[in-house]
Homo-oligomer: A and B are copies of this chain.
Amino acid sequence: MKAAVVTVGDEILIGQIVDTNSAYIAKAFDKIGIGVYEMLSISDERQHILQTLAFLQNRVDVVVITGGLGPTKDDVTKTTLCEYFDDHLVRNEAVEAHVVELIEKALKRTASQINKDQALVPSKAKVLHNAFGTAPGMWLKRGDTIFISLPGVPYEMKGLIDNEVVPRLVAEFERPYIIHKTIMTYGQGESIVAERIAEWENNLPEHIKLAYLPSPGKVRLRLSTRGTDEAFLRNGIEVEAAKLNDIIGDIIVGFDEDETMEVVLGRLLAQKGKTLAAAESCTGGKIAQMITSVPGSSAYFMGSAVTYATDSKVNILKVEQQLIDVFSVVSAKVAESMAVNAKKLYKSDYAVSTTGNAGPAKGDAAAEVGTVYIGIATPNGVTSHKFELGQPREKVVARAAEKALELIYQEILKN
């Protein structure tokens, strides 16, 4: 089964908002064996919508259209659907009652005519109940294709996908299995990883696809397959993942895409009953933010001294001014002092520190833009590492934070 996702709205085409609906729908469909063939974002114009519906009809089995269902004049999806399906609007009493109740309850006023007109739907449409808003979902069919129209407000769309669309598709259609497994690797670039696994990749079975998803400091390898025999598919994926583990086990840190370095690190700390602190200059709180994005991180993360200004390194972290004067604020010595002092101040077992120049302009130090020192304090002592992380600013910060987590993870593994 193939689907297409269409988002309607000029706000997307001028870049005013990022479309997150399509990814949500794709993920939900992937889980039930429906592959998304294409995603399109188009304007709120009648002609553009008509063209797109015609283009997709018979090309895919299901089209989900989000947006353009509001009560205002710029919302034209509903009338355009009537045109495409050679239909007219009729009042749905159940929807009108829901609209009146929703407005009274949430806004403590009576529904206006504009509100009530949300209950007008094409006569040929099956209505899908929108528990969280006034615009109902609609389910129509033309040719071999089902067209599903949903409101664009993310939490309304999500409710409709989860509670109405997915259950109906599951009940109505036989679908294949789509199975993915993502292998997370750290520390080597995409091209090196590709070289190491080239022979294995060349011998992958026809029905298993490999994708590389590189990002600063890490590469995710995604194995995908689809078919009707679930056990066969799952087994095939597991066999290949095991082979991969034999080849590049040294850089594999996990087998799930939800397993980010902060999750893996957090689990290791929790297992060992150890605590961590940080002292951040150029990463500006990014390390703390990554670690605390994991629920339950308060059990092992004490905190981070973000000392952005040079003076703060002296005031808060008690780095000796002389060290800064002699070695510069971007130096191995200062990184090490920051880590050691953070460990002491936070009374943690481990601490990690960053000091560097994220750019675009040079800061208080002579170091090149992109130069970052990472300090690692452990119960056994302190070390530091120097990196040249290039540009621009956001890349330097992201890579420095990733590197810091990776280094401290490896250090804790050893102990």
Contacts and interface: CB of A to CB of B under 8 A. Distances in A.
Interface in A203-220: 209-215
Given A195-B114, A211-B44, A17 B23 contact: yes
Copies in the complex: 2
Interface stretch (A138-146, A232-240, A241-249, A291-299): A291-299
A308 interface: yes
A252 interface: no
Nearest to A42: B38
Contact of A36 (B13, B20, B105, B209): B13
A82 interface: no
> SS class of chain A's interface: helix, strand, loop or mixed?
mixed
Contacts of A18: 18-20, 23
Contact of A72 (B23, B194, B311): B194
A26 B20 contact: no
Interface string A154-196: 0100110000000000000000001010100000011110110
A121 interface: no
A37 to B, nearest CB: 7
B307 A311 contact: no
A309 B305 contact: no
A308 B295 contact: no
A93 interface: no
A364 interface: yes
Interface stretch (A83-91, A282-290, A320-328): A282-290
B306 A288 contact: yes
Interface string A1-16: 0000000001111111
A27 interface: yes
B14 A180 contact: yes
Contacts of A29: 15
A35 B48 CA distance: 14
Interface in A350-404: 359-361, 363-364, 388-395, 397
Given A275-B309, A285-B304, 10 more contacts: A14-B27, A14-B35, A14-B224, A16-B213, A37-B43, A70-B212, A106-B388, A155-B392, A285-B288, A305-B306
